[in-house]
Structure 1
Amino acid sequence: MKFLYLIADGMGGWPLDELGGKTTLEAAHTPNMDELAASGIVGRCQTVPHGMAPGSDVANMALLGFDPARYHTGRGPIEAAAQGLQLDPDDLVWRMNLVRVTELTIDGIMRDYSSGHIATELSRPLVERLQEKLGNDTYSFVPGVQYRHLLVQKNGALTEDADLAVTPPHDITDKPIKQDMRAFSRSPVLWDLIMESRDLLADRSVNATRANSIWPWGQGRPLNLPGFRDKYGLHGAVISAVDLIKGLGFASGMDVIDVDGATGLLDTNYEGKVQAALKFLEQGDMVFVHLEGPDECGHSGIAKDKVEAISRFDERVVAPLRKALEGQDVAWLIACDHFTPIKERTHTMDPVPFILNGPGCTPSEVSAFTEATADASGLRIENGHELLDFALNRTGKK
């Protein structure tokens, strides 16, 4: 039996007046997920442990079966694993966004956590220049993808910087940065680096993008995860546009499959991800296919775009996979990692809806796959890292 694990990042949400009281999932056209939900089981899962921030790092770690309370050290270290960085145990790895703020002072406002979803071919030269001009024995700038980069602080885990509480920039869009500027100021060396980076990015001869500041956050020691095959006895792979998911895959010894044209946005290469998943399943056991689009649209606060992102996930990922695997022995687990409600424009702690369809699943006969039908089922997985075990056990895969 093959196991498909499909994640629409940030798909869950809250009812909206502009959608007639529907959530974006309820408003989306999702006939394939609806059919899988009706012929399988639905429920809710608490992917983020209480007391931890509701980020994709925590939630996706849990979805892959690893307890964040035990293994999570920060967002930066997960993305460092995706790049195969050689790190020492006491290094501190920061996720570093290229952002746009009104001004880098306590009176500033976070205008754009992604600098207009800056393209990699524009962001990489900027980070390389930051490294050339400002990199030293303590700090190294590491280019990543789009607006997502890394800052490595040598032996930083031994300093008070490890405890600085900096807000993820996507959580404070159009909000004041006063609290975070005060946090940065507690580390004079880091403060100076941020200010020098601002001055460098202000040079329009080398930077014609919207980015006008770096934003280090999500820092932690290097990540160590158990092997996925050792834990589950399965040959698994991850497919995603974002380094976060790739890092979890690399750290746990899964195959990490790159797909040309995978952007993490509405224009991602859906067909390429589907074909990559099918090819892997010719010899592999489980594939974790991650779509970032619904989450990015949730952060933008544009309901129609998020409805479209969810509809495309159903039409261009779920539908072709169902058609290609029709008549084969297949189990499906479909979920989101967290809610990204349009009203909030950031992540929330709500338990996420999921579908499990395969052997051992009595049909729920729900009319549609929504947050409400999943909640009404009464099935709830309280610890997110136990969802995969539940699914594998129920379908006889484990």
Structure 2
Amino acid sequence: MKYVVILGDGMADYPMPELDNKTPLQYAKKPTIDMLASKGTVGLVRTVPEGIAPGSDAANLSVMGYNPKVYYTGRSPLEAVSMGLDLSSTDVALRCNLVHLSEDESEYSDKTMIDYSSDEISTAESKVLIEAVNNTLKTADINFYPGISYRHCMVWSNGKTSLGCTPPHDISDKKITDYLPKEESGLLLNLMKKSYEVLKDHPVNQARKARGLRTANSIWLWGEGKKPALSSFQEKYHKTGAMISAVDLLKGIGICAGLDSIDVEGATGNIDTNFIGKANAAIQALESGKDFVYVHVEAPDECGHRHEIENKVKAIELLDSQVVKPILEGISKFDYRVLVLPDHPTPLRLRTHTSEPVPFIIYDSTHEIQSSAKSYDEFEAKKSGVFVDDGYKLMDLFIKGSL
């Protein structure tokens, strides 16, 4: 038996007037996923436990079968692991976004979060900028490391946690005054302020401005935590496996769980990602002997954060036609189970994550059923009456066939 998780990050949503008062999942043309829903188990799962912020970190830990209340230590350490950083037990890792803040205000704290991704800045450009920040602001205890696009890492030796940091994608178009770090010494805020002076007139940003692009004029620190200690997925479920994702967070979760992390050329984490490349990588991993693959697609989440209604629908349709369909065709010679779901909702109207339960499908090629679900969406899943309250138990249902 082969096992495939296909996760459309943030694709659950609310009805939108622009979509005939349907959710993107209801509105999108997704015949392959709807077919799975008609022949599989459809229900709702709570991936984010009460008391934990609705992030992709905690939610994907749940989907992977790890209780966030036990294993979650923060987002950035998972990303740091993916980047190859060797964290000590006393290191605190923080996500370091390159963001674009408004430029007219004289006081840093009066600025507005215009773009948490700096127009999806290229990895090559951002590497130069993070190196400039590190050369100017590093200390014996503080170091900055380049990642992908706008997503980078700061490591604070013997650092603190519970720093009162806010994800920048939660405050798009908002004044940053009330969302600055609450860390007592002011170290983080001081670093952010100084980064603005380093970055605002940097040659890379001058060139971006000349091309009509937003500059990456500040770092934004958040997602602090220490290295987690996940038990091995293979020991837990007796399956060998691989993680396929464009983002360091998911790669880090996979690595910490002992899965192989497979890089796909052209995988960007956005609507222009190499969807079909991810599908082919999943097929190849299973054909080469892996029992389990986790295919993560970030695009619906990014579209939700950016209020890109048409693109969010398009991302779901591409997930159906260029990921789900080719994977099913490619593994048809095996007995297999497929789990399709988001990690959390990213409602277009809110532009941030929420904690509501999300719809899932479990399809077993050896045991098709006649489901009452007419399609795969939030409302059909709710009507099914199937509800998994402890999200981390869904993997037991998927792998073992029972909770």
Give TM-score, length-normalised by structure 2. Answer: 0.94
1:380 aligns to 2:378 (yes or no): no
Determine whether 1:203 maps to 2:210.
no
Shift of 1:264: 0.6
- Give the superposition deviation at 1:188: 2.8
- Give the aligned partner of residue 145 of structure 1: 148
2:257 corresponds to which of 252, 261, 266: 252
Q: Distance in 2 between matches of 1:106 and 1:200?
A: 17
In structure 1, what residue type is equivalent to 2:134? Q
For the Cα contact (< 8 Å) 1:131–1:141, is it kept in 2?
yes
| Counterpart in the other structure of 2:273 | 268
Q: CA deviation at 1:360?
A: 4.8
Structure 1 SS opposite 2:203: coil
2:270 counterpart SS class: coil
Aligned-partner residue type, residue 101 of structure 1: L
Q: Which residue of 1 aligns with 2:235?
A: 230
Contact 1:106 1:182 in 2 (8 A): no
Farther-moved stretch of structure 1 (255-264 vs 322-331): 322-331
RMSD: 1.5
Q: Distance in 2 between matches of 1:236 and 1:264?
A: 21
Q: In structure 2, give the amino acid aligned to 1:50.
A: E
2:277 matches 1:278? no
Equivalent in the alignment of 1:113:
116
- Displacement of 1:138: 1.3
Q: Kindly tell me: are residues 262 and 182 of structure 1, through their superposed partners in 2, closer, same or farther at Cα, counting changes over 3 Å? A: closer
Deviation (angstroms), 1:177: 1.2
For residues 285 and 322 of structure 2, the distance between their equivalents in structure 1, rounded to whole angstroms, comes to: 18
User: 1:95 aligns to what?
Assistant: 95
Deviates more, 1:84-93 or 1:299-308: 84-93
- Give the alignment of 1:126-145 within 5 angstroms: 126-145=129-148
**Contact 2:240 / 2:259 at 8 angstroms: preserved in 1?**
yes
Other-structure match for 2:356: 350
In structure 2, what is the Cα distance between the partners aligned to 1:182 and 1:55?
18
SS of equivalent to 1:51: coil
**Quick one: distance in 1 between partners of 2:193 and 2:256?**
33
Match for residue 10 of structure 1?
Answer: 10
1:183 is paired with a residue whose SS is coil
- Residues 172-183 of structure 1: pairs in structure 2 closer than 5 A: 172-181=171-180, 183=182
Asked if the contact 2:166–2:181 (Cα under 8 Å) also holds between the matched residues in 1, the reply is no
The whole-number CA distance in structure 2 between the counterparts of 1:319 and 1:392 is 21
Q: Deviations over 1:279-314 (max 9, x none)?
A: 110100000000000000001112111000100000
What SS does the aligned partner of 1:151 have?
A: strand
Question: How many residues are paired up?
Answer: 391
SS at match of 1:156: coil
Structure 1 residue 204: deviation in Å? 3.4
Contact 2:38–2:370 under 8 Å retained in 1 = yes
Runs in 1 of length 4+ with deviation above 6 angstroms? none
Distance 1:182 1:19, change over 3 A: same
Q: Which residue of 2 aligns with 1:170?
A: 169
1:281–1:287 contact (8 Å) kept in structure 2 = yes
* Contact preservation (8 Å) 2:93, 2:153: yes
Query: Separation in 2 of the partners of 1:363 and 1:379?
Result: 15
- Equivalent residues of 1:32, 1:318 under 8 A apart: yes
Structure 1 residue identity aligned to 2:267? A
In structure 1, list runs of 5 or more residues that go unmatched: none
Contact 1:360 1:394 in 2 (8 A): no
CA spacing shift, 1:361–1:50, aligned 2, 3 Å: farther
CA distance in 2, matches of 1:2, 1:54: 30
Shift of 1:128: 1.3
Match of 1:93, as an amino acid? Answer: A
State how far apart, in whole Å, the 1-side matches of 2:189 and 2:245 are. Answer: 33
Residue 289 of structure 1 corresponds to which residue in structure 2?
A: 295
Selected match of 1:219 from 224, 228, 243: 224
CA contact under 8 A between 1:142 and 1:151: conserved in structure 2?
yes
Q: 1: CA distance between counterparts of 2:276 and 2:218?
A: 35
Alignment equivalent of 1:367, drawn from 374, 380, 397: 374
* Counterpart-to-counterpart distance in 1, 2:330 and 2:181: 54
**Structure 2 CA distance for aligned equivalents of residues 255 and 356 of structure 1:** 23
- 2:188/2:221 contact within 8 Å kept: no
Aligned equivalents of 2:163, 2:222: Cα separation in 1: 9
- How many Å apart are 1:133 and its aligned residue? 2.0
Alpha-carbon distance in structure 1 between the residues aligned to 2:256 and 2:34:
34
**Aligned residues of 2:95 and 2:221 also touching (Cα < 8 A):** yes
**Residue in structure 1 matching 2:189, options 172, 191, 194:** 191
Alignment partner of 1:106: what SS? helix
Offset at residue 85 of structure 1 (A): 1.1
Question: Which has the higher mean CA deviation after the structures are superposed, 137-146 or 358-367?
Answer: 358-367
**Unmatched tracts of structure 2, length 5 or more:** 209-214
Q: Is the CA contact (8 Å cut-off) linking 2:44 and 2:386 kept in structure 1?
A: yes
State the AA in 1 paired with 2:190: D
1:361–1:394 CA contact under 8 A, matched in 2: no
Contact kept, 8 Å, 2:125 with 2:204, in 1: the verdict is no
Q: State the 1:141 CA deviation.
A: 0.2
Aligned residue number for residue 43 of structure 1: 43
2: CA distance, partners of 1:179 / 1:376:
40
User: Which range moves more in the overlay, 270-279 or 200-209?
Assistant: 200-209
